[in-house]
Amino acid sequence: MPHYSLHIREESLDGTVEPLLIRTLTDAVVSVFGEGVRPMVAVELIGVPQQRRGVGGLPTTEDAPQVTLSMREGAYHLDHVPDAPARLIAATTDALAVVLGEDVRRQTVVTIEGVPAGRSGVAGQAG
User: pLDDT tens track of the chain, all 127 residues?
Assistant: 899 999 999 999 999 999 999 999 999 999 999 999 999 999 999 999 988 887 788 888 888 899 999 999 999 999 999 999 999 999 999 999 999 999 999 989 999 999 998 888 777 877 6
The DSSP secondary structure of 25-94, one letter per residue, reads HHHHHHHHH-GGGGGG-EEEEEEE-GGG-EETTEE--S---EEEEEEEGGGGG-TTSTTHHHHHHHHHHH
Q: What is the pLDDT of residue 61?
A: 80
Q: What is the pLDDT of residue 127?
A: 67
Integer Rg of the chain from CA: 15
Say how far apart CA 93 and CA 91 lie, in whole Å. Answer: 6
Q: What is the pLDDT of residue 73?
A: 95
Q: What is the pLDDT of residue 59?
A: 83
Say how far apart CA 127 and CA 118 lie, in whole Å. Answer: 5
Q: What is the pLDDT of residue 75?
A: 93
pTM beyond 0.85, yes or no: yes
Question: Distances from the Cα of 41 to the Cαs of 9, 56, 58, in angstroms?
Answer: 22, 31, 33
Give the chain's domains with CATH numbers.
3-118 (3.30.429.10)
- CA-based torsion, 92, 98, 32, 42: positive or negative: positive
Q: What is the pLDDT of residue 74?
A: 94
